[in-house]
Structures are given as C-alpha cells and as structure tokens.
Amino acid sequence: MEKIVRLERIGILGGYDKNGQPEPVREVEFNMGQVASIVGATGSGKTTLIKDVELLANKNTPSNRTITFNGIVPSEEYCPVPSDRLIALITQHTNFLSDMRVKDFLVTHASIRGSRGENSVVDETLMFANQLTGESIDTANVMTELSGGQTRALMIADAVVIGESPIILLDEIENAGIHRIKVLELLKQYKKIFIFVTHDPRITLLSDFRIVMKNGAMQKVIATNGEEKKVVEQVKKIDDLLLRLRAYIRNGEIITEFHLKE
Amino acid sequence: MKLAICSGPPTSGKTTVLKHVIKKLTNKGENTAFVKTDVQFACEDDFFAQELNIPTKKIYSGELCPDHCNVMILGDALEWAEKERATVLVVETAGLCLRCSPYVEGAFGMVVLEATSGMNLPKKIGPMLSLADIAVVTKIDLISQAEREVFRARILEVCPGMRIIESDALHGIGVEPIVKMIYNSSDMKEPIYLRGNPPIGTCTICVGKKEIGWKQHFGIVRPLDNQVFYRGE
Ligand SMILES: Nc1nc2c(ncn2[C@@H]2O[C@H](COP(=O)(O)OP(=O)(O)O)[C@@H](O)[C@H]2O)c(=O)[nH]1
Ligand SMILES: [Mg+2]
Ligand SMILES: [Zn+2]
C-alpha cells in the first residue's frame, strides 16, 4: 500500500444532513499547524463529524462524507489505514482499559512506534501529561487506576509525543478534568492539525477557524479575524475570572463582590 | 458455492460484523445462507432470518467441541445451502475451543476479536487466530488510539504478516475488505479438509470418569509440574 509521503493538509468533502439533503458546506480544509473548532448545539452532529475524520470516511459512514489528503480523494489503493499513526481522537469517554502499569505501557507503545530513545520519549510524555492535570501521574499505577483527568492528559500526551500523530481530535475535553487552556498553549508548539469539538468560547476564539454545525450538517465556516481577535483579550479575562471563582468555591470560600474584582 | 467461516470469542462482535458483511454481499448480487454453531444457545439464526430475510439454520454442539461439531455438519450445511440456492454460505461458530480452529482449506476464514478484551488476548487464542486469513478487531470506538496500536502489534507478534482490519462494527465501518475477500473467493470443491491439525484428544475424562488426579486416569494425561510432556497409554 502506498503511504502518504508527507501530510500537508486534510479536507472534508460534504455529505448529507439528517434529512438526506446535501450539507451547505461542501468542502473544508485543515492545514498543518492550524487549530480549528467545531461548534453547535448538543445533537447537532459535532461528534459525528469528528468521527468521520477519525475513521477517514470515504462515503462509508452514515453522513456520506469523504476525507481527503493533500487534496486527494483516497482510492482503495491509496488509503491510509486507521492505525497508520495518522489520527488520534480523545473524548471525555475514551478510557484506558489495559491493566498494564503506566510505565510499561508507555515503553511498549514507544517501542512499537519505533520511537528514538524509548526512555526519553516516555519521560517527555509524562512531563507533558503532568502539565495538563492537577494530580501528577504515578508511573507505577495501573492504567485503569488513573483518574479521568489523568487518563485524558496521558492520552493527549501519548498521542502528541509517542504517537507523533499529525492530526489530533479533541472532543469536549473542557469537561474532561484537564487544564484546557494549557492544552491549547502546549499543543500550539507542535506543528499539527488540532480539531476541538467545543462549547468553550475561549478555545473557539483562539482557533484559526470554526465550523458551525446544525441538523447533522456543516452550516458555515467562520475564520477568526480582525473583529473577533480584538475581543479575545476580554474573553480571556472573563474566563480567568470564572476559573478563579471556581477555585474559590472549591476551597470552600464564601463568594463576595471582592472576589469578582481582578 | 463460496464458504466463509467466522470465529472469535463470545461477544467479540461476530454477529455485528456479519450483519454488515451479508448486507453488502446481497447488494453485490450474492445470495447468502447462514449457519450458526454454538454450544447450548444461539439466536443469530432468527435474527438474520428476520433482519436480512435470508435462509438460516443453527446447530448446538452440546458435549462436542463446537469446532469439531462444525466439521461434522459442514458437508450437510453446504448441501442445504445449495438447495436454498445460496451462492455464499456464511458460518458463525462459537469459538470456544482454543485448541482447535474451524477453518477449512479453500474457504475464507476470519477471526473477530474485540479491542476491549485486554492486550494479552491475541496470545491466548491459538489457531483460531493463527490459521485465519484475516483478523477483525472490533470496538475500536471504546479504547484509546495507543491501546489500539498495542493490540494490533500483539496480533502481529503472534502471527507475523496477518492481515488486520479495525472496525467500529456497530456502524459497519471498515468491513469493505471482508466483503471483497469473500466476493473474490472461489467456489468450494470436494473433498474439503480442515486447515491445520486437530489437537491430540481423548482421555478418560472425556468419556466421563470424574475422579481428580492424573494417576486415576489413562490416555493422554499431564501432571501439574510438567508442561512439556504428556503421558500416553
Ligand atoms: N461499541 C461497540 N460495540 C460493539 C461493536 N461490535 C459489537 N458490539 C456490541 O457487542 C455486543 C456483542 O456483539 P455480537 O456481535 O453479538 O458478538 P458475538 O457474540 O461475537 O456475535 C453487542 O451488544 C454489540 O452491539 C463495536 O465495534 N463497537
Ligand atoms: Mg453471535
Ligand atoms: Zn476443540
């Protein structure tokens, strides 16, 4: 099977909405290094869209969408297999089921991937993961003993560092017990395609563009430009304030006017 | 008549995969007949008869190893399917005997494994995996990408070169290559032989002697501290 020499961009060719009508957006492209968001009400088809990307849909999923590589519609001969280290999808539901110890699992995964210097890669992965979670990961722990936040943090770190997946899909990780802003900051240092399914205004506005979903279809693509970039700083402040409030409440404090000041 | 034999541990997703495969075979103009062999309970025959409107049958192996049972009934099953004017016979086995495998020469053989079953499964199931033409890994929607890769590598450790397909079988995703392989396989010709060798069998326990301890038995017996040699009469 022919492999993709170098992935520069992927695309989604539109399929059908829930009523079988062609979806308004016929094509979206994601370039290496871009961050994109998928937004829309619950049930609007966000997860289905991201699953189509993960499964490298080729008119063989319910939506009838097609995923392209460097602008090419894969033929049967020219089609990357899902395990070809291309895409990692992390959702608030994906769990580790393996009862291996964290360290052993990472070493195993690194050796399968043929990573250079297994141990240093494993250390880098753990360092990355520990920046995303409040509770640092004990490598002697069995994978299934990790908390939700630790699990998601390790999955993201593994996909980025060991997996070296060029495309990373994150489905509503704001509810997954990890520092979502830290995720965005760290990820931006790697030249990959990141696609967030999100309800979070801050993640959305820090993305290069967003796809708006409704009724199972891509309705429009909005690039984050001038006007919106101006308000990002304000949104950050509001968001930081809410994060601080959350911390106060967690600490058992009584909230007053004072806490709302910067 | 083409023959496709599918095995795999219980709940691994055999029926779910086959449902999508048979639908697609029908779309390609094949007439499929379906046989399920199981030990003591199965309802796949009713399910497929209703859902897909195809001729179905089931057989319970009872005391007999389901894979051995399969050998016994396969001849009749092919005749029956012929009478039903089928062009493909699909057999779903119970896949419980980890010493045998149900595949036969000249027929398509596939094993279905669930990605959720633990990283060591591929090492545990012997000829059911190693003698298959293709391994289908289901439930990939439930585990991490990292574990999927490790699971795949474990299969390849046991069977280098094995063709592996990963599928979210609930949504029938990834099954096209299976359809294609069945569609392109050739018709069965008698005599048909079992692929690989059946395991050495019969001891006095098989025929109902229940007392514990190898000294109470003759035939092929094995003591606890010796994993290499069998004692035979
Ligand atoms: N999430 C998920 N569930 C699956 C998948 N494949 C099968 N199942 C479920 O697993 C259960 C057992 O599947 P079944 O096909 O009956 O297994 P069989 O005993 O091997 O025939 C059913 O509830 C299926 O819906 C899959 O790829 N993903
Ligand atoms: Mg079944
Ligand atoms: Zn047997």
pLDDT at A1: 36
pLDDT above 70 coverage of chain A, percent: 92
B73 CA to chain A: closest CA distance, Å?
36
Tally A–B CB contacts below 8 A: 67
| In this structure, CATH architecture of domain B2-183 | 3-Layer(aba) Sandwich (3.40)
- Cβ of A159 within 8 Å of Cβ of B168? The answer is no
Give the nearest partner residue to A112 out of B153, B173, B174, using CB atoms. Answer: B153
Instruction: Give the amino acid at A175.
Output: N
Residue of A nearest to B163 (CA): A81
- Collect all residues of chain B within an 8 Å Cβ-Cβ radius of residue A100: 119
A169 CA to chain B: closest CA distance, Å?
11
pLDDT at A130: 94
pLDDT at A257: 87
Q: What angle do CA B73, B76, B80 make, to 5 degrees?
A: 130
Instruction: Give the amino acid at A179.
Output: H
Q: How confident is the model at residue B26 (pLDDT cuts 50, 70, 90)?
A: very high
| Gap from CA of B74 to ligand 1 centroid (Å) | 26
- Residues lining ligand 1, Cβ inside 6 A: B 8, 10-16, 112, 138-139, 141-142, 167-170
Confirm if B213 and B221 have CB atoms less than 8 A apart: no
pLDDT at B203: 66
Contacts of B224 (CB under 8 A, 6+ apart): none
Residue of B nearest to A163 (CA): B146
Confirm if A121 and A161 have CB atoms less than 8 A apart: yes
Instruction: Indicate which ligand has the atom closest to the C-alpha of B138.
Output: 1
- Alpha carbon B18 to chain centroid, angstroms: 12
- Collect all residues of chain A within an 8 Å Cβ-Cβ radius of residue B134: none
Pick from B86, B105, B93, B27: nearest CA to B66: B93
- Collect all residues of chain B within an 8 Å Cβ-Cβ radius of residue A89: 145
DSSP state of B223: -
| Gap from CA of B51 to ligand 2 centroid (Å) | 14
Confirm if A61 and B173 have CB atoms less than 8 A apart: yes
- Cβ of B119 within 8 Å of Cβ of A98? The answer is yes
Q: What's the token pair of residue A221?
A: 């693509």
* Residue A126 vs residue A54, higher pLDDT: A126
Which ipTM was obtained for this model? Answer: 0.76
pLDDT tens digits for range B163-192: 999 888 988 888 888 999 999 999 999 888
Q: Give the integer Cα–Cα distance in Å for B106 and B194.
A: 10
- Cβ of A82 within 8 Å of Cβ of B147? The answer is no
DSSP state of A181: H
pLDDT tens digits for range B92-112: 998 777 777 889 999 999 999
| Gap from CA of B7 to ligand 2 centroid (Å) | 9
Q: Average pLDDT, stretch B26-54?
A: 91
Mean per-residue pLDDT of chain A: 87
Q: Average pLDDT, stretch A62-90?
A: 76
Contacts of A238 (CB under 8 A, 6+ apart): none
Which segment of A181-190, B51-60, B124-133 scores lowest on mean pLDDT?
Answer: A181-190
Is the pLDDT confidence value at B64 over 80? no
SS (H, E, C) A48-105: HHHHHHHCCCECCCCCCCEEEECCECCCCCCCCCCCCCCEEEEECCCECCCCCEHHHH
Q: Average pLDDT, stretch B136-141?
A: 92
Q: Give the integer Cα–Cα distance in Å for A105 and A96.
A: 11
Q: Give the integer Cα–Cα distance in Å for A81 and B97.
A: 31
Contacts of A58 (CB under 8 A, 6+ apart): A66, A67, A73, A74, A79
Q: How confident is the model at residue A2 (pLDDT cuts 50, 70, 90)?
A: very low
* Probe target for ligand 1 pocket from B12, B14, B16, with the most ligand atoms within 8 Å of CB: B16
| Gap from CA of B69 to ligand 3 centroid (Å) | 9
Q: Average pLDDT, stretch A82-103?
A: 80
Give the nearest partner residue to A60 out of B143, B164, B176, using CB atoms. Answer: B176
Q: Whose CA is nearest to atom 12 of ligand 1?
A: B11
Give the nearest partner residue to A97 out of B116, B173, B174, using CB atoms. Answer: B116
Q: Where are the domains of chain B?
A: 2-183
Q: Average pLDDT, stretch B43-61?
A: 91
Q: Could you tell me whether strands B56-60 and B2-7 are parallel, antiparallel, or unpaired per DSSP bridges?
A: unpaired
Distances (CA, A) of A82 to A114, B4, B173: 18, 25, 11
Instruction: Give the amino acid at A218.
Output: M
Q: Give the integer Cα–Cα distance in Å for B83 and B201.
A: 35
Instruction: Give the amino acid at A86.
Output: L
* Residue B224 vs residue A187, higher pLDDT: A187
Q: Could you tell me whether strands A35-39 and A66-69 are parallel, antiparallel, or unpaired per DSSP bridges?
A: unpaired
> Inter-axis angle of helices B14-27 and B176-183, to 10 degrees?
60
pLDDT tens digits for range A166-196: 999 998 887 777 888 888 888 888 889 999 9
Q: Give contacts of A 141-170 with B, CB under 8 A.
A: 155, 158-159, 162-163, 165
Q: How confident is the model at residue A36 (pLDDT cuts 50, 70, 90)?
A: very high
* Residue B208 vs residue A94, higher pLDDT: A94
Atom of ligand 1 nearest to the CA of B168: 27
Q: Whose CA is nearest to atom 25 of ligand 1?
A: B170
> From chain B, which residues contact A within 8 Å (Cβ)?
116, 118-119, 140, 142-150, 152-153, 164, 166, 168, 171, 173-174, 176
Is the pLDDT confidence value at B84 over 80? yes
Q: Average pLDDT, stretch B43-71?
A: 87
- Cβ of A155 within 8 Å of Cβ of B147? The answer is no
Confirm if A96 and A146 have CB atoms less than 8 A apart: yes
Confirm if B16 and B168 have CB atoms less than 8 A apart: no
- Cβ of B145 within 8 Å of Cβ of A159? The answer is yes
Q: Omega before B191 cis (within 30°)?
A: yes
pLDDT at A79: 54
Q: Give the integer Cα–Cα distance in Å for B53 and B68.
A: 29
Q: Which site among B144, B156, B184 would you substitute to test the A interface, given the most A Cβ atoms closer than 10 Å to its Cβ?
A: B144
B48 CA to chain A: closest CA distance, Å?
22
